[in-house]
Amino acid sequence: MPNDPAKLPVARQVATLTATRAQTDDQLLRSWLDSLGSPHTRRNFETTARRFLSELPTGLRQATVEDVRAALASITRGVGNGTARQYALRAKSLLGYAHRFGYTLFNVGAAIKPTKEVRALAKRIVGELDVRDLIRSARSERNRVLLAVTYATGLRVSEIVALNIADVIQRQDGRVQLHIVGKGGKERDVLVPQSLGAALLQACGGRAGTEPVFCSSRGGRRLTERAVNHLVKDLANRAGVNPKLSPHWLRHAHASHSLDRGAPLSLVAGTLGHANVSTTSAYLHAKPGASSGDNLDPKVWG
């Protein structure tokens, strides 16, 4: 059987068995990115994947396990454990996709063992007074409203910069709600606290449609995630709070503080866009209300 794929050379086998039209690594990369969810995810994954591919001495189809390990070692050099884990997972996803659709004969990504995630959530939860000081340190109304809305709604930084005027909905009861397209393209609606709704509507300034809610001070363009990160770092230094604070810490703070004040776990999960309440429950474990050690006899160490 001359057309039997098993009797063809490796390169021919790959070409014969493919379920993708991709003929080059770049085309395969594009196909993989198209399978992902939100634009934010695609941007981050593309950056990592292109760096990874550039470190391979050969193309994906000829890459060995050793090539993959060396490429990962190169792109993760000098980064933290959490970032290194994300890079490894993204490379593993790309390699798995390539094999699953027949672009490569072997899935060399199967040999990638990402480092175990170290959860240090408790270290990233700031107190209510720190959040208050951060927001009060903002010198412009735009920055004040930006930080207040980020904290009060628990939005991701990608979601806050993606907000358009049309996503800010004034209801008949006077409340304001936001229509959010989150990770994986999942949609949800988040109610803005009553005391903040008017300020947010004022920030919209009579604009409409797809114009961004939060614009840069230069030319009215949409704020970028990087700009918001820099802003939070600068204000954290000015307010004298934890200099490691980032926009995502405000999301952590929202979850922790609302649970502390009695919000139901399911409500917090829905507001944050968590698919499973087990994700949200991590905030309960990060700040336990009691310890079995409270039942021990203090005379033992006293």
Residues annotated catalytic, as ranges:
156, 183, 248, 251, 274, 283
What whole-number distance in Å separates Cα of residue 165 and Cα of residue 171?
14
The distance of Cα 69 from the centroid of its chain, to the nearest Å, equals 25
Amino acid sitting at position 67: D
What whole-number distance in Å separates Cα of residue 21 and Cα of residue 27?
8
What whole-number distance in Å separates Cα of residue 272 and Cα of residue 152?
11
What whole-number distance in Å separates Cα of residue 296 and Cα of residue 284?
23
What whole-number distance in Å separates Cα of residue 46 and Cα of residue 199?
37
Question: Using an 8 Å Cβ cutoff, are 241 and 148 in contact?
Answer: no
Question: Using an 8 Å Cβ cutoff, are 254 and 92 in contact?
Answer: no
